[in-house]
Amino acid sequence: MALRLVHDREHYDLVVDQLVRRAEVSVWIATANLKELRVEATVGSRARARGQYVALIDMLAERVGAGVEVRILHAGRPTRRFEAARRKLPAHLADAIEMRQCPRLHFKMIAVDGCHLYLGSANLTGAGLGAKGEGRRNFETGIVTDDEAMLDEMQARFDKIWTGGACTGCRLRGICPGPLDGHT
């Protein structure tokens, strides 16, 4: 793959439907906005046979059930619809989808299995990832790569924020819902 430019609906087709849905080891997501996103149900499922769409969190829970580590790093509070969909999951799956909030986060990234990296403008929303209809989705652009140097750099950046390594000296600590370094 090396490097591939993606636009609009390709975000859904390539990043969500092909890469995230088929993850075997890990899915790390960084997004400023976190909304419920509806995706096609898994092939072979009753929902798919009925032509139903399911919440992305359901697809992520399927991956967790298959042993995949799922981490979501986000800036704002998840929407009520996202949280409602998450509460419908069995507790062990909902708890296994790790989520952390950092109000300074604005980059958008999805790393899958340490092998594929998406970087771009799209938030984890239906409009952002191209899952909305033609006249309702955002105009988004990003790249997908399997470049090891880029993967290593972005996963290290994600992990530094995830573990609180970027909290020292942060000027938003006063509004942070819970500094990731564990200090208040």
Q: How confident is the model over 57-88, as pLDDT tens digits? A: 999 999 999 999 999 999 999 999 999 999 99
Cβ neighbours around 169 below 10 Å, total: 6
Least confident of 1-10, 58-67, 145-154: 1-10
Distance CA 134, CA 132 (A): 7
Query: Which candidate, 35, 27, 149, 137, places its Cα nearest to that of 86?
Result: 35
Is the pLDDT score of 167 beyond 80?
yes
pLDDT for 154: 98
Instruction: Indicate if the pLDDT at residue 148 is higher than 90.
Output: yes
For the entire predicted model, the pTM comes to: 0.92
- Into which CATH architecture does domain 3-162 fall? 2-Layer Sandwich (3.30)
Per-residue pLDDT at 95 exceeds 80: yes
Query: Would you say residue 128 has pLDDT above 90?
Result: no
The average pLDDT across 107-113 equals 97
Q: What pLDDT, on a 0 to 100 scale, did the predictor assign at position 64? A: 97
Give yes or no for residue 132 having a pLDDT over 70: no
| pLDDT computed for residue 143 by the predictor | 96
Inter-residue contact 118 to 19 (CB < 8 Å): yes
Give the pLDDT score at 52.
Answer: 84
**Alpha helix stretches (DSSP H) within the chain:** 10, 46-49, 56-65, 80-87, 91-96, 148-162
Q: Please check the confidence at residue 136 and state whether its pLDDT lies above 90.
A: no
Give the least confident one: 41-50, 56-65, 120-129. Answer: 120-129
